[in-house]
Structure 1
Amino acid sequence: MDWQRMLTLAAGELIAPQTAAFALAAIGLNVHFGFTGLLNMGHAGFMLLGAYGFAISTIAGAPFWLAFLVAIVAAILFALILGIPTLKLRGDYLAIVTISAAEIIRLLGRSTLFTDLTGASSGLRGNTYKATFQALSPLPDGTTAIGPFEYGNNLSNGWWVRIAAWALVLLAVLVVYLLVRSPWGRVLRGIREDEDAVRALGKSVYAYKMQALVLGGVLGALGGVVYVLPTSVQPDAMGRAMTFFVWTVLLLGGAATIFGPILGAMIFFVALSVVRTSMRELLPSDIFGPAQIEPLSGILIGVFLMLLVIFRPQGIMGDKKELTFHVR
């Protein structure tokens, strides 16, 4: 087994755009679940809407910042449409509604009725919407090596997209940190613990939940934009499995923490890279091909998440006294 190659690939996941995208999405989910207690099981719907909003606007001729704004507005509208009739629901009922809403977005995206707009099941190719983002790069053309990492400066999966993605993650962390330390954030924590007590103090629990749903949804949409910048928009790639992975990232790092989602994303994708590479090297290729290794990796991740929730539900950085899984 080529350990050096395995470790280099695993280390590359620490700064990969995909890792940053899931960190952003997990920060948004943390606002929903960790700080407010909203059991959102359809976070991939926000990510897919953000990706579609950005890509479709760019293809239509919008400049980068306008397309970026469209992605944010799409997430806000989806949060309002989703939240107005459902935020009075609690626990499992809200989870069922959110996962259904995300599936509706995915199925609409892959529907042949919208082929000209969304590309249906084939999706939207990256080279149709990446140019405006790449044009913003201040880096010269060519390749740069920093330690074991060597990437093209302005390629789809190069340094520029990594720099922009992680800058966005740090900005999201700063915004969430300031908000949760404010009186607004303390009300959210109160709602998570006992919303009836917060209501008795004269606070509008419904309004605060809506604000949290919008903020977390916008962060999820930005995660979707980052996710598709190095690749393409594929509706089936941003379905239930993606929501499951975002939850894994959040619970691994620690819900109701500031840096937990980032740590969880890094550990998750490093571990996933090691598991996949090890299985390709160790398992006989005539029995376990790529089509078998991918679901087997998913099985191992599922088992890991079960053990995590059972033995350390607060995650690596979480505080068990603060976080409860008995969401009202």
Structure 2
Amino acid sequence: MDWGGILNNTAGWLLSPTTIAYALAATGLAVHFGYAGLLNFGMAGFMAIGAYGYAISILSFGLPWWVGILVGMVGATIFAFILGIPTLRLRADYLAIVTIAAAEIVRLLFTTTVFDRWTNSADGLAGYHAGFRAANPFPPGSYGFGPWVFTADQLWTRVFGLFLLAIAVLIVWLVMRSPWGRVLKGIREDEDAVRSLGKNVFGYKMQALVLGGIFGALGGVVISLPSAVIPGTYVTSLTFFLWTILLLGGAATVFGPALGAVIFWVIMSFLDGVLPALASAGILPISGTQAGTLRYVLVGIALMLLVIFRPQGILGNKRELTFVK
């Protein structure tokens, strides 16, 4: 078994654009669920809108890359209003059903041939990287050490993604310490009590949905920076991965989503290397394909144990979550 290769590949996921993108989206989900109590299962839709808004604005309209990011953010804001106006008065499982359906509608709209001129339907979009890479401040060459050796373009993608994540974390830290954040937490605990104090509960929920959705769109942009926008990425399993990351790090925490993303993808990468190797060596009586699937089973079991024995997550405070009282 090539332990060196497995460990190097696992360590590489610490700074992977995928890890950073999921951390961004999970931060948005923390605003939705951890602080506002919104059971949103449609974060994949916000990520898809961010990624497609970024790519389409560059490819079809020739806009600069940074304007493409703004387009993705505006698209996520519009989607939040379209989703929130008819649904934010729903509670718990009803909201979850509507949001997961909305995310699937968004994905299917991007894959339909009706909009093939802009979305390239099921084939996705590529070739929009020139502007972003031209803005790279790092000279050509190799950077880093050990398993973290990157080209200038790879380093620029990671640095920019970490920059966006840092801004998102800072914004969440600031707003949740503000009166707005305290009202939001009150809505999570008992929205009827907050409403009796004269607060516009619907308005606060909508603001939280928009803010978290923008973070999700930025996650979609980051995950599309290294390669292409592929509609198969934004399936329901993406949202479930985000929920796993959120619950792992801590739902009502500032740094929990980032920590959860790192732990989740490091474990997934490690198991993806170890389990097929064990199967090939005859230690596990299963095929290599089955070994690759087994990692999802193990992660699912770990998540169930986490919810049972530490529902607040690694960094969470048990008093922050109403469902553990």
TM-score relative to the length of structure 1: 0.94
| Distance across 1 between alignment mates of 2:227 and 2:292 | 19
User: 2: distance between equivalents of 1:296 and 1:57?
Assistant: 40
Counterpart-to-counterpart distance in 2, 1:296 and 1:115:
37
C-alpha separation in 2, matches of 1:27 and 1:148: 27
Given the alignment of the two structures, is residue 72 of structure 1 paired with residue 73 of structure 2, yes or no? yes
Q: Which residue of 2 aligns with 1:195?
A: 191
- 8 Å Cα contact 2:9-2:147 kept in structure 1: no
Tell me the secondary structure at the aligned position of residue 315 of structure 1: coil
What CA RMSD, in Å, does the superposition of the two structures yield over aligned residues? 1.6
Query: Deviation at 1:300?
Result: 2.2
Could you report, residue by residue, the CA deviation over 1:48-74 in whole angstroms, capped at 9, with x for unpaired residues? 010000000011211012111100000
- Letter of the 1:75 counterpart: A
**What SS class does the counterpart of residue 151 from structure 1 fall into?**
strand
1:145 is aligned to: 144
Structure 1: runs of 5 or more not aligned = none
User: 2:210 and 2:144 mapped to 1: Cα distance?
Assistant: 39
Map 1:302-317 onto structure 2 (within 5 A).
302-317=300-315
The one-letter amino acid of 1:166's match is: L
- Matched with 2:125 is 124
Aligned residues: 321
In structure 2, the CA distance between the partners of 1:228 and 1:292, relative to structure 1 (3 Å rule), is farther
Cα distance in structure 2, aligned partners of 1:2 and 1:121: 37
Verify: 1:228 aligned to 2:224, yes or no: yes
Question: Secondary structure of 1:283's partner?
Answer: helix
Match of 2:3 in 1: 3
Q: 1:235: how far off?
A: 1.2
Q: What is the one-letter code of the residue matched to 1:103?
A: E
Tell me, yes or no, if the aligned pair for 2:275 and 2:292 is still in contact at 8 Å: no
The share of aligned pairs that are identical, in percent, is: 57
Task: Give the residue type in structure 2 aligned to 1:118.
Answer: T
Matching residue's letter, 1:66? V
Give, in whole Å, the separation in 2 of the partners of 1:20 and 1:141.
23
Quick one: distance in 1 between partners of 2:82 and 2:253? 28
1:50 is the counterpart of 2:44: no
Question: 5+ unaligned residues in a row in structure 2: which ranges?
Answer: none
In structure 1, distance between residues paired with 2:295 and 2:53: 31
Q: Which residue of structure 2 lines up, in the alignment, with residue 31 of structure 1?
A: 31
Correspondence for 2:157 among 161, 165, 185? 161
Corresponding position: 1:16 with 2:16: yes
Residue 326 of structure 1: CA displacement? 7.3
**1:124 shift after superposition:** 1.1
Superposition pairs for residues 136-285 of structure 1, below 5 Å? 136-154=135-153, 158-284=154-280
